[in-house]
Amino acid sequence: MSNSSTRILTAQPQDIRQAAALLQAGQLVAFPTETVYGLGADARQGEAVAALYAAKGRPSFNPLIAHVHSIEAAKRHVIWTETANKLAEAFWPGPLTLVLPLRDGHDISHLVTAGLETLGVRIPAHPAARALLSALDGPVAAPSANPSGRISPTTAAHVVAGLDGRIAAIVDDGPCGVGVESTIVGLSGETPILLRPGGLAQEDIEAVLGHPLQMRDASDPLTAPGQLLSHYAPRAKVRLNVTTPDPAELYLGFGTMSCDLNLSDSADLVEAAANLFGHLHQLDAMDKPIAVAPIPEYGLGAAINDRLRRAAAPR
């Protein structure tokens, strides 16, 4: 059984403040949106986001949606466009996620975007979600609040069934109205592209755009979410499971050792996951081959190794 208890909160103001304080403190809080219950972490805190992957038992790092309370807040993180504005004005708050290029100076953790240069953002319509986002006044990364591979939760009871004891709190405000996840539209290319069908009908989006959405090409790694690591893999050669690095190599360590950058001195996989993409970016900027120390294959280690193998794959 669980060794810690998950608090059930209401949508009353003092409970919402409590939930925001937990997020601020790096804890995980499930909350209702109009689509499904989301499992939230402060999107600026890499370790909180890593803990979120761990709680869900996600086998790999898929990019997450950042939830914000206003268009102004979204603009702090992404490069806003005319089309984004049109769709946001028409459908936000609501079950629509827009994928846009990250902007300089954003403070979103690399783990939220899984190292991509784009970010999915949305303003959820549920009053409890909006109250929570306003109380935190920061971006909340939230996948559906279910263990990986299980069905998305549309009630707090579903969340309890899957995640009790693994997260700090659940804001319970009844069943979700929409019940399927948001529709995701990619706006970082030349034409808007439907990345995932969802709670907002494609036809409604096309009516506002005045033209059809492009369909996602499953074979194109640029549009297939979750498959994108080769896209941001380091330019340099990457070797894995290295215990004795070459003098010419930069050494990415794990655990107590001497190295150029350490994923976690204390061999903590949650900390390592939080550091993974940022450290790879830093080493890549130094333009030398990279050797990576062995990472254990349990817990978040499986996802870390999955990503590292993709980074090391021949290109």
Alpha-carbon distances, residue 173 vs 9, 130, 198, 267, 281 (angstroms): 9, 12, 22, 39, 40
SS3 (DSSP) at 131: helix
142 is a contact residue toward ligand TXA (CB under 6 A): yes
Nearer to ligand TXA, 184 or 295 (CB): 184
Nearer to Mg ion, 79 or 180 (CB): 180
Specify the pairing of strand 238-239 against strand 261-262: unpaired
Nearer to ligand TXA, 149 or 210 (CB): 149
- Positive or negative, the Cα torsion across 169, 174, 177, 178? positive
By CB under 6 A, which span of 59-67, 155-163, 209-217, 248-256 interacts with ligand TXA?
Answer: 59-67
Backbone angles phi, psi at 239, to 5 degrees: -115, 140
183 strand-pairing partners: 96
Report the nearest approach of ligand TXA to the CB of residue 208 (Å). 19
Q: Which does 112 bind (CB under 5 to 8 A by kind): ligand TXA, Mg ion, none?
A: none
120 is a contact residue toward ligand TXA (CB under 6 A): yes
Nearer to ligand TXA, 103 or 288 (CB): 103
Backbone angles phi, psi at 200, to 5 degrees: -110, 130
Alpha-carbon distances, residue 208 vs 49, 85, 87 (angstroms): 34, 11, 7
3 HSE (CA, 13 A, CB side): 0
Report the nearest approach of ligand TXA to the CB of residue 211 (Å). 21
What DSSP string describes 228-283? -HHHHS-SS-EE-S-SS--TTSEEEE-SSS--SEES-TT--HHHHHHHHHHHHHHH
264 is a contact residue toward ligand TXA (CB under 6 A): no
Nearer to ligand TXA, 130 or 290 (CB): 130
289 HSE (CA, 13 A, CB side): 12
Rounded Cα distance between 143 and 181, Å, is 10
CA-closest candidate to residue 297, choices 261, 272, 262: 272
Nearer to ligand TXA, 62 or 265 (CB): 62
By CB under 6 A, which span of 43-51, 116-124, 235-243, 285-293 interacts with ligand TXA?
Answer: 116-124
Prior bond of 93 cis (ω within 30°): yes
Q: Enumerate binding residues for Mg ion (CB under 5 A).
A: 144
Report whether 37 contacts 145 (CB < 8 A).
Answer: yes
Among 109, 182, 262, 275, binds ligand TXA (CB under 6 A): 182
**SS percent in the chain: helix, strand, coil, step 5:** 30, 20, 50
48 is a contact residue toward ligand TXA (CB under 6 A): no
Report the nearest approach of ligand TXA to the CB of residue 224 (Å). 8
33 is a contact residue toward ligand TXA (CB under 6 A): yes
Report the nearest approach of ligand TXA to the CB of residue 18 (Å). 20
Report the nearest approach of Mg ion to the CB of residue 144 (Å). 4
176 is a contact residue toward ligand TXA (CB under 6 A): no
Among 143, 153, 192, 234, binds ligand TXA (CB under 6 A): 143
By CB under 6 A, which span of 42-50, 142-150, 165-173, 238-246 interacts with ligand TXA?
Answer: 142-150
225 is a contact residue toward ligand TXA (CB under 6 A): yes
Question: In the complex, which residues of this chain contact ligand TXA (CB under 6 A)?
Answer: 33, 35-36, 38, 62-65, 95, 97, 99, 113, 116, 118-120, 124, 142-144, 181-182, 184, 195-196, 225-226
